[in-house]
Chains A and B, each alone.
Chain A
Amino acid sequence: MSHSIPRRTFLKGIGTAMSLPLLEAMLPVSAVAQAIDKARPNRMAFLFVPNGVNMQHWTPAAEGAGFTLPHILEPLAEVKDSINILTGLTQKHAFANGDGPGDHARSAAAWLTGVQPKKTKGSDIKLGISADQLAALKVGGRTKFASLEIGCERGAQAGDCDSGYSCAYSSSISWRGESTPVAKEVNPRLVFERLFGAGSQAEQSESQARRDRYRLSILDLVLEDASRLKQRLGIRDQKKMDEYLAAVREIEVRLQRLEGAESLAVKGATRPTGIPSNYGEHIRLMGDMMVLAFQSDTTRVCTFMFANEGSNRSYREIGVSEGHHDISHHGRDEEKLEKKKQIDRFHVEQLAYILNKMQSIDEGNGTLLDNTMLVYGGGISDGDRHNHDDLPILMAGKGAGTIRTGRHVRYSNGTPMNNLFLSLLDRIGVPGETLGDATGKLDQLF
C-alpha cells in the first residue's frame, strides 16, 4: 500500500490556511450563491400524504382560473392564487403490472422515481433515482445541504410492510440510487441542529474546535479504510461500501465548501425541543424546518412525508379514532368516506400553514413561496381502489417566475407524473427531454 501522507492531512497538520486553487467548491456559501445566483434561487419540494384522497372533495369542478376550492382544499383560500391543481397525472409504475398486491409500497416508491420497484422483502431492493435527488445532484452543490429529507413517521419497526415489499419502499420517497433510499429525519430538534448546529455552549467550544480541526483527517482515514476494504469484498458487499464511500465524500465536500463560511442561522429562529405529541403540531414544526432551510438557503431541495405510505395512525385531533389505512378502505361507506375527507382536509390545513408562512417571507424579489416549486399529494388516488391514475396532485409557488398559478389544470388521464418532473427539473437547472416514461414536458404550467 501507499505510505504517502495525504495532502490534506499534512495541510491540516501544520495548521496553515488552505493554499489550494480557489475552486467553486471551496468558496464560502454566500459568495457562491451570489456568484451563481444572478437570477433568484428556485427551490423544489415534494410533500407526500399516504392512502389516497377522497377525490370527490379534492378535484375542483371547474377548470382554469375560475374554480372553487373543494372542501378538502378550502384551507388554501389565502394562497389560492399561488397554487395549481393538476388533475389527471398518473404514475403507471405504481400499478401491479404483474407484481400482484402491494400498492402502498409500490406507490410511495414510484411516486418520485417513476420506476417499478423490484418486489422483494429485502434481499435485492431495486428502484431508481428520484426527481428530488436528480435536482440535488445538480443544484445541491450551491448550498450547505444538497437536499433535506424529513417526515413525521419513522420506518416500520417490525413485520412485513406491504405484501412482500421491503419497508424501505413505503417509508422513502427519496432515492439517491437504485438501492439506496435517503433516510429521513423525524425529530424537528435534530433537523434544526443539523441545519444550524447544536448551539455554542462555551463549555464545549474547546472540544468542538478539536473536532473541527481533525474531522477532515478522520474522513481521509475512513475513506482509505473503506476503499481498501472494498477491494476485498464481493460484488454485493461492495455496494454497501459504495454507499459508505458516497456518504463520506458528500460530507467531505460539504465541509470543504463551508470552510470559513459564516453561520447560516436565521434571525429569530427557535430551536425545537423534540417531537410534539400533537400530530398537527409535529407536521407544522417540520414544515417550519423546511421553510427555515429554504429561507436561509441551507438547501433548495426537500422531501417531506407527512406519514409513511399505508400509515394506520389515528387522528384523535379531529375525532377520528380508527386507523387511516383502515378508513381509506372505505368500500363506498358514507361514514368512512366522510372520515377520510376529514383526514385529507386536516393534512391540507397543515399544508396551508406551511404555504402561508412561505408567502409571508419577503425575499426582495417575491416571497419565498413565489421562489419555490412545491408539489403536494400522493401516489394513490382512491384508497379503496388503489389506483394510481388521476392522482391527487397540487403545486404551489411560482417557481421564481416560471409558473403561472391560480388554476385548475386538467390533463388527459394517464399523463405521466414524470412529465411534471421533467418540467420542474428544467426550471431548477437540470435540462432534459426524457425521464422514464415521460412523454414530454408538462404543458400549461406557464
Chain B
Amino acid sequence: MRPNHKPVLFACVFGVLALGSMPPVQSQAKPAPATFEKDVLPVTAKYCAPCHTGKSAAGGVDFSVLKTKESASSQAAIWERVVRNLKSGAMPPKGSPQPTALQRTQSISLIESALSAGCNLNDPGRVTLRRLNRTEYNRTIQDLTGVDFRPGDDFPSDDVGYGFDNIGDVLSISPLLMEKYLDAASTVAERAVPVPQNRRIPIDVAKMGLSGGVQAVAAGLVYASNGEARTTFTPKVGGDHKITVLAGSTKGGPEVAKMEVVLDEFRIAQFDVANPMDKPISYTVPLPRLERKAYTLRIRFVNDYYNAETKEDRNLVVTGVVLDPPAPMQQITAESRRLILGAPPVEGKEWETAVARLKAFATRAYRRPLQPEEEERILRVAKLVRDNREPYEAWIQIGVTAILASPGFLFRTELDPVGAKGARGLNDYEIASRLSYFLWSGMPDETLFSLAAQGKLKNRAVLVAQTKRMLADKRAFALAENFAGQWLELRKLNTSAPDPTLFPAYSPKLRSAMQMETMLFFDEIVKSDRSVLDFLSGKFTFVNGDLAKLYGIPGVTGEEFRKVALPDDRRAGVLTQASVLTLTSNPTRTSPVKRGKWVLEQILGTPPPPPPPGASQLSEAREKIVGKTLRQRMEMHRKDPACATCHQRMDPIGFGLENFDGIGAWRKLEGDTPVDASGVLPGGQKFAGPAQLRAILLGRKKEFVASLAEKMMVYATGRGLTANDKCFADDVRKRVEDNQYRFSSLIAGVALSEPFLKRIPEPKR
C-alpha cells in the first residue's frame, strides 16, 4: 500500500455509498454454480485483506474474522458494509488493485444471499423498559385526565439515541426528573380533581352587637325575648355568598320560634326554628351578588312567648354564624369529570364509589389490568386520606397523584411471564400500547382498550385495520411532529441561526413556518396514503404567506397554510423544502457538504464516517488566497487524499442544491457568479440542477425505502437495530414495494413485524 493512501483508508473505508455508481448486476449463467467459498472469499482475501487485517486493520475492519461463510451471520454488520462498498465502488480505493467487474457483481450477489440466509427469524430482539418521554408524557396526561396542560415541557430533555428520543436504553431517570414527576402528578391531579376548598368565614357571635332580649353566653346567643344581634362584614370577593346560621329553640305556645335574617334593613329570610336548642341545625340563606363593600347582618328573634302559669317559654338560641364565599374559580371540566371523578357518589356509598373510580383510572393509567397488590396500595393511600376526614374529592385526588407518580404509569412495562423462554408474542394490552405510542405518541384509546380486552389485537387483519384507523385520526399528526421531526432533523432548526444581515427574511416566525410546511407535507402523505416516494418527488407543498414569498409563489397571504401545486421543477419533495435547506446550511452560507451528508444519512441511510481527527473543515485562509468560488475551493479540498473518498460522495449532491441559498430561497447568482448546480457522482454519473439530482435519487429508491423502513422500525420499537433486525426491516421494504409504495404499507409492515409484536424475555438477576 502506498503510504499516502493510508489516511484515505482510515478516514473513509467503510460505510460510504456512492451515488450513481455501478448498479448491481445479476450473476450470469455459468457452468459451475458460484459459491461463497469459491467466488467471494478468495476475492476479498486478495483485494480487501491486505489493508484490512490484524490490529492495525484499516478502518478497524478486520477480514481475518471474515474467512468463512458462517461469518455472514456472525459478522453480518461488517459484511453489509462490504456489500455497500463493493456496490458503490468506494472499495477498493482508487489506485489499489481492483477486482474484475464479474468478480465484483458475483461477490455482491453471493454475499447478499448469504446475509439473508443468516437471518434468524426466531429472534425478535428486546427493547429495554421505556419510560414515557416528554412528548408521550404530555399526550398521555391529556388523554388520561382531560386536563389541557403540558407539564413535560418543563422536564429535562430526553437524550437521543439512534436518532430518536424514544429509545429505552437512553431514557434515564434522575432525581431532578423524579421531582418533576412528583410535582406534575400533584398539579395534574389538583386540576383534574379539584377539591372544593373550605373557605368559610366564621363570624364570632360573641362579638356581635346586641339589643333587646338577647345575651351572649359560652354556647352562643340566647334570645330570652325578642331581640337582635348584628355584625358588619366586607366580602373579600364579589359574587354569590351564603349565610348559614346554626340555631335551635325551646318550645312554648302555639307557634315555633321565628328567626329573621336581615341584610342592610332587608329581611331576606324568616325561618321556623323547631329543633331543640341542644341540637342546633343549619339554616342557610343565599346572598346573591354581594359586592366588596360593608354589609350589616342582623339575626332577629321576633315571636317571643312566655306563659308565667304554665312556664311555657319560647326562646331562640344561635350557636354559630358562617359566611360562605362563592365557589372557587377552579372548576372541574366535563371531560375530567367523565374520565376520573364521575357523578357524585350516593350517600353511604362514598367509599365503594371511590374504589371503583380509582381502579378504573389506574387501569387506564397503567394501560393494562391492575395487579391485585397495586390496587391494594392505591386504596391504602386513598383510605388514609378518607380517615383523615378529608372531603371525598381529596380521596380521589391523592389516589390519582399516587398513580401518576408510580412506575406503572411512567414506564411502558412489558412483563414477561415467569419462566418464559424463547420469543413470546406480546399480549393484547402490550400491543395496544405499542401501536398507540408508535402512531400517536400517546396512550391507547377506548377502541384499542376494548379490542385488547376482547383479545382481538393479535389478529393480523384487526391489527392492520387498526393501523389504518389510527393513521386517519388527527392524533397521527404525532408522526409528523415526532418521527419526521427527528428523521428529517426538523428539530435542529430550533437552534439554527442564519445571519440576519445576510438573510433578513429569516425570523422565528419563518422558521416555524418552515417546520410546519414539512410536517404538513409529511402528514398529507400519511393522511392520503400516498407513495413514500413522494417524500423525494411530491410536486406539491403547503405554504403560508411568509413561505410563499420566500418561494416566489404568488397569491398566498396570511398565516394560514394551504396546499399548493409546485409550478416548476425547481422544487419537489422534502429535499428542496426551506426547512431542510436551512438546517443543512451554515449561518453565513450554504454548505454543500452538510447537504450532501444529510442526503446520504437521512435519505439513503448510508452516512459517511466522521472526518478523521485533525482534519479541519474547509479552510477559509486557503479560500482567500485562491479567491475562487466555493465550488472551486472545495474541489481543491478534495484533491487532498485524506478528504477525497468521502467528499467525492457528499459534495456533488450538495452542489446540485446550490440554487437554494442558506435559507432555501431560489438563486441564480452566488455573489456575482452564476450558480453552477452541476455535479459528477463517483460512478461518473452527471447531472445539473435539483430536478436531475432528484431523478438520480429516485433511481435509488430501493436504498431510500430500506433506509426509511429501518428508521421507522427504530422509532416504533424504541431500540437500535441489530444486524438480524435488518432482515425484518428488509421484509418491510418488500411489503412497501409490493404495495405501490403506499405509506400505510410501511406502517402495516412495521406493525406486523416480529420485533414489533414479539420479544425475548431476558434472564433475571
A residues contacting B by CB (< 8 A) are: 1, 3, 5, 9, 12-13, 15, 96, 98, 100-103, 121-125, 146, 149, 154-164, 166-168, 171, 176, 179-185, 187, 190, 194, 206-207, 210-211, 213-215, 217-219, 221-222, 224-226, 228-229, 231-238, 240-241, 243-244, 246-248, 250-251, 312-314, 316, 321-323, 326, 329-336, 384-386
Q: Which of B174, B402, B413, B418 contacts A229 (CB 8 A)?
A: B413
Q: Which of B619-643 contact A (CB under 8 A)?
A: 619-622
Report whether A102 and B610 are in contact in the complex, using a CB–CB cutoff of 8 Å.
Answer: yes
Tell me if B490 counts as interface (CB < 8 A to partner A). Answer: yes
One of B67-75, B261-269, B433-441, B491-499 contacting the partner? B491-499
Chain A contacts of B405 at CB under 8 A?
Answer: 218, 222
Report whether A251 and B616 are in contact in the complex, using a CB–CB cutoff of 8 Å.
Answer: no
Tell me if B408 counts as interface (CB < 8 A to partner A). Answer: yes
Category for how many chain B residues contact A: 35 or more
Report whether B388 and A15 are in contact in the complex, using a CB–CB cutoff of 8 Å.
Answer: yes
Q: Which of B167, B390, B492 contacts A159 (CB 8 A)?
A: B492
In whole angstroms, how far apart are the Cα atoms of A146 and B175 in the complex? 10
In whole angstroms, how far apart are the Cα atoms of A187 and B176 in the complex? 13
Report whether A232 and B374 are in contact in the complex, using a CB–CB cutoff of 8 Å.
Answer: no
Report whether B163 and A5 are in contact in the complex, using a CB–CB cutoff of 8 Å.
Answer: no
Report whether A229 and B176 are in contact in the complex, using a CB–CB cutoff of 8 Å.
Answer: no
Given known A-B contacts A160-B163, A225-B377, A168 and B182 have beta carbons under 8 A apart = no
Interface residues as binary, B574-612 with A (CB distance below 8 Å gives 1, 0 otherwise): 000000000000111000000000000100000101111
Interface residues as binary, B691-718 with A (CB distance below 8 Å gives 1, 0 otherwise): 0000000000000000000000000000
B residues contacting A by CB (< 8 A) are: 60, 126, 128-129, 131, 154, 156-163, 165, 167-179, 182, 185-186, 190, 195, 197-198, 371, 373-374, 376-378, 380-381, 384-385, 387-388, 390, 394, 397-398, 401-402, 405-408, 410-411, 413, 415-416, 418, 485-486, 489-492, 494-495, 497, 499-502, 586-588, 601, 607, 609-614, 616-622, 719-720, 761-765
Chain B contacts of A180 at CB under 8 A?
Answer: 172, 174
Chain A contacts of B390 at CB under 8 A?
Answer: 210
Query: Nearest chain-A residue to B158 (Cβ)?
Result: A155
Given known A-B contacts A121-B162, A237-B128, A184 and B156 have beta carbons under 8 A apart = yes
B263 smallest CB distance to A (angstroms): 27
Which 6 residue pairs across A and B have the least CB separation, nearest first?
Answer: A122-B161, A234-B762, A331-B616, A183-B156, A247-B178, A331-B619
Taking chain A's interface residues, is the majority helix, strand, or loop, or is none over half, making it mixed? Answer: mixed
Chain B contacts of A157 at CB under 8 A?
Answer: 157, 160, 165, 486, 491-492, 494-495
Given known A-B contacts A121-B161, A229-B408, A214 and B377 have beta carbons under 8 A apart = no
A149 smallest CB distance to B (angstroms): 7
Report whether A237 and B129 are in contact in the complex, using a CB–CB cutoff of 8 Å.
Answer: yes
In whole angstroms, how far apart are the Cα atoms of A190 and B184 in the complex? 13
Q: Which of B168, B401, B486, B620 contacts A214 (CB 8 A)?
A: B401
Report whether A332 and B621 are in contact in the complex, using a CB–CB cutoff of 8 Å.
Answer: yes
Q: List 24 A-B contacts (CB under 8 A).
A: A121-B720, A122-B169, A125-B169, A157-B486, A158-B490, A176-B174, A183-B156, A183-B172, A207-B190, A210-B390, A221-B378, A226-B407, A234-B126, A236-B129, A244-B173, A246-B175, A247-B175, A314-B497, A321-B499, A321-B501, A321-B588, A332-B619, A333-B620, A385-B613
B324 smallest CB distance to A (angstroms): 15
Q: Which of B177, B586, B610, B763 contacts A101 (CB 8 A)?
A: B610
Q: Which of A1, A166, A190, A214 contacts B373 (CB 8 A)?
A: A1
Report whether B415 and A233 are in contact in the complex, using a CB–CB cutoff of 8 Å.
Answer: yes
Report whether A101 and B617 are in contact in the complex, using a CB–CB cutoff of 8 Å.
Answer: no
In whole angstroms, how far apart are the Cα atoms of A103 and B112 in the complex? 34
B582 smallest CB distance to A (angstroms): 13
Report whether A154 and B413 are in contact in the complex, using a CB–CB cutoff of 8 Å.
Answer: no
Chain B contacts of A121 at CB under 8 A?
Answer: 161-162, 720
Pick from A154, A237, A312 the residue with the most CB of B within 10 Å: A237
A190 smallest CB distance to B (angstroms): 6
Query: Nearest chain-A residue to B128 (Cβ)?
Result: A236
Q: Which of A124, A167, A241, A333 contacts B159 (CB 8 A)?
A: A167
Chain B contacts of A102 at CB under 8 A?
Answer: 610
Query: Nearest chain-B residue to A314 (Cβ)?
Result: B497
Report whether B129 and A211 are in contact in the complex, using a CB–CB cutoff of 8 Å.
Answer: no
A318 smallest CB distance to B (angstroms): 14
Report whether A158 and B129 are in contact in the complex, using a CB–CB cutoff of 8 Å.
Answer: no
Chain B contacts of A334 at CB under 8 A?
Answer: 621
Report whether A183 and B160 are in contact in the complex, using a CB–CB cutoff of 8 Å.
Answer: no
Given known A-B contacts A238-B765, A321-B499, A155 and B129 have beta carbons under 8 A apart = no
In whole angstroms, how far apart are the Cα atoms of A388 and B170 in the complex? 26
B677 smallest CB distance to A (angstroms): 23
A178 smallest CB distance to B (angstroms): 12
Chain B contacts of A13 at CB under 8 A?
Answer: 384, 387-388
Report whether B154 and A187 are in contact in the complex, using a CB–CB cutoff of 8 Å.
Answer: yes
Report whether A326 and B177 are in contact in the complex, using a CB–CB cutoff of 8 Å.
Answer: no
Given known A-B contacts A5-B380, A217-B384, A321-B588, A233 and B129 have beta carbons under 8 A apart = yes
Q: Which of A100, A159, A314 contacts B489 (CB 8 A)?
A: A159
In whole angstroms, how far apart are the Cα atoms of A154 and B152 in the complex? 14
Chain B contacts of A184 at CB under 8 A?
Answer: 156, 176
Report whether B163 and A168 are in contact in the complex, using a CB–CB cutoff of 8 Å.
Answer: no
Report whether A158 and B611 are in contact in the complex, using a CB–CB cutoff of 8 Å.
Answer: no
A133 smallest CB distance to B (angstroms): 11
In whole angstroms, how far apart are the Cα atoms of A321 and B497 in the complex? 8
Report whether B720 and A214 are in contact in the complex, using a CB–CB cutoff of 8 Å.
Answer: no
Report whether A155 and B159 are in contact in the complex, using a CB–CB cutoff of 8 Å.
Answer: yes
Report whether A225 and B374 are in contact in the complex, using a CB–CB cutoff of 8 Å.
Answer: yes
In whole angstroms, how far apart are the Cα atoms of A161 and B160 in the complex? 8
Pick from A103, A149, A214, A333 the residue with the most CB of B within 10 Å: A214
Query: Nearest chain-A residue to B760 (Cβ)?
Result: A234
A15 smallest CB distance to B (angstroms): 7
Report whether B179 and A194 are in contact in the complex, using a CB–CB cutoff of 8 Å.
Answer: yes
Report whether A182 and B407 are in contact in the complex, using a CB–CB cutoff of 8 Å.
Answer: no
